[in-house]
Structure formats: C-alpha cells, structure tokens
C-alpha cells in the first residue's frame, strides 16, 4: 500500500495567485460555487508538474466556478521523491472517493490501495487549527485497501 502525505495551502484567490509564481508541482483544488449552487464546494481536483500560477491562469474549468472561487495548492511531504505517478495516485484517490463535479475522468476505475494524509495550512504556512467548511468533506485521512474505504480527521493541537 502506498502512503502519500499532502500539505495543503490556501485559500488563494485570483488576486493572491499572482504572489505565488514559483510554487508548483503537486495537486490543486478549485473551490466555490457553480451556477445555481447554494453552497461552495470542492469543484475540481487536478495535478501539475509546473507552477500553480501557470496552470490556473489557463485552466479550462475554472470559469465554470462563477462565485466564491478559491484555490488550494498542495506540497507532497511524503514520499520525498515526487514523480508523476505519485501525483496521479493521490489525485485518483481524491477524485474517486470525493467525486468533484467538474472531474469527469478518474471517477470510474477503482484506484490502487493507497492512504492519503491531508494536512491543512494557511497561505503563510501556519497550521489550520479549525477546519474551513470548504474542505470539511475532504477527510484528513483517506485510506483505500482495495476492499474498504477508511476515513477520519486529525485534531490539531497547539501549546
């Protein structure tokens, strides 16, 4: 079984995205409301080996998120050596389990056994003590053993 640990940073907006021109090589989430949505949700999960700034600027689905659009960017903490396979595996687990509405691919075939640990941070890198409602549905731990899903959330403690 693979284990992947992701540090998520955000939320970024179209305006604050300009400040992150060098950050990249990981997964990203596009959140907000599509036309007729009542609540903001995770709408799309993708990967890029380049910068997030460059990927989001020309993203073909971001315009379908018409209100409260924000972005979350991940850094792969483990494994240290990140290649396309690691990113694809993490994306596949999140997309298959969570089924974001704008992801059409990677929602049908069953992923390989993998555990994803999601850790959430502010843009400045401070751990998020309280969860934001936008990612409450995306559990901190998502584990697929090939037969059963296991999920849960991690409590952040501070001194």
Domain count along the chain = 1
Structure tokens at 129: 């003590």
In a domain, 158, yes or no: no
The whole-number pLDDT of residue 159 equals 65
Q: Are 78 and 126 in contact (CB under 8 A)?
A: no
Closest alpha carbon to 134 in 23, 10, 16, 6: 10
Closest alpha carbon to 122 in 6, 29, 24, 9: 9
Summarised one tens digit per residue, pLDDT across range 24-44 is 899 999 999 999 999 999 999
Summarised one tens digit per residue, pLDDT across range 95-149 is 999 899 999 887 888 899 999 999 999 999 999 887 666 666 788 999 999 999 9
In a domain, 8, yes or no: yes
In a domain, 121, yes or no: yes
In a domain, 159, yes or no: no
* Domain span including residue 52: 2-152
Residues 76-94, mean pLDDT to the nearest whole number: 95
């Amino acid at each position: 079984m693979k284990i992947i640990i992701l540090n998520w940073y955000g939320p970024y907006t179209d305006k604050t995205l300009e400040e992150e021109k060098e950050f990249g090589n990981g997964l990203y989430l596009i959140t907000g409301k599509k036309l007729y949505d009542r609540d903001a949700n995770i709408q799309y999960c993708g990967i890029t080996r380049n910068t997030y700034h460059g990927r989001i600027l020309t993203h073909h689905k971001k315009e379908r998120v018409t209100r409260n659009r924000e972005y979350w960017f991940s850094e792969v903490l483990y494994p240290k050596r990140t290649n396309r396979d690691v990113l694809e595996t993490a994306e596949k687990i999140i997309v298959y389990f969570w089924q974001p509405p704008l992801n059409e691919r990677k929602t049908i075939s069953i992923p390989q056994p993998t555990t994803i640990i999601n850790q959430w941070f502010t843009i400045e890198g401070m751990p998020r003590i309280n969860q934001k409602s936008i990612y409450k549905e995306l559990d901190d731990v998502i584990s697929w053993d090939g037969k059963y899903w296991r999920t849960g959330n991690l409590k952040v403690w501070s001194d």
